[in-house]
Amino acid sequence: MNPNKKVLFTFLSFVLALLVIACSCSSLIPSSILPSGGGEAMPGLAGTWKDQETSDTFVIAWQGGQYEVTSVTWGTDNYTITAQSWSNSVLSWSYDDTTIGLTVTHTTKSLDGDNLNATWSYSDGRGGDEVLVRVP
């Protein structure tokens, strides 16, 4: 065999061996140190969100393998979350709005960058669509 072909063959064999090793080593790296959006089911959902119409602010966190709303505020008022659920990529939460005397429920529909599409409903039956905007 020509010496130049031997060098080329050896080099390509070396590169192929490195490629095989690199691909097989990814399974040896703990997933906790791989970049993956923090293990979130919907990367980007965790954060602070504001309703531009009402100025309500919601903090959503990824905790224990699910999303949780950790606070609901309006100005200086903090509302107690009375119910919430995370199921099938839908987050829903309710709280008693003492300012208006109604229970308010929000349900997420989709995440579009810094816009969280959701619905809202009051305990008196009114409701509608809303877009919550990420607060930096």
Quick one: pLDDT band at residue 33, thresholds 50, 70, 90?
very low
Cα gap 108→46, rounded to integer Å: 12
Cα gap 25→34, rounded to integer Å: 12
Q: pTM, whole model, 2 decimals? A: 0.71
pLDDT digits (tens, 9 = 90+) for 59-70: 999 999 999 999
Q: Identify whether residues 28 and 49 lie together within a single domain.
A: no
Q: What is the pLDDT of residue 112?
A: 96
Instruction: Provide the residue range defining the domain that includes 11.
Output: 3-33
Amino acid type, 69: V
Lowest pLDDT segment from 10-24, 33-47, 50-64, 81-95: 10-24
Q: Identify whether residues 60 and 115 lie together within a single domain.
A: yes
In this structure, the dihedral spanned by the alpha carbons of residues 112, 115, 116 and 118, taken in order and rounded to 10 degrees, is -110
Q: Identify whether residues 85 and 113 lie together within a single domain.
A: yes
Q: In the chain, how many domains are there?
A: 2
Q: Identify whether residues 63 and 117 lie together within a single domain.
A: yes
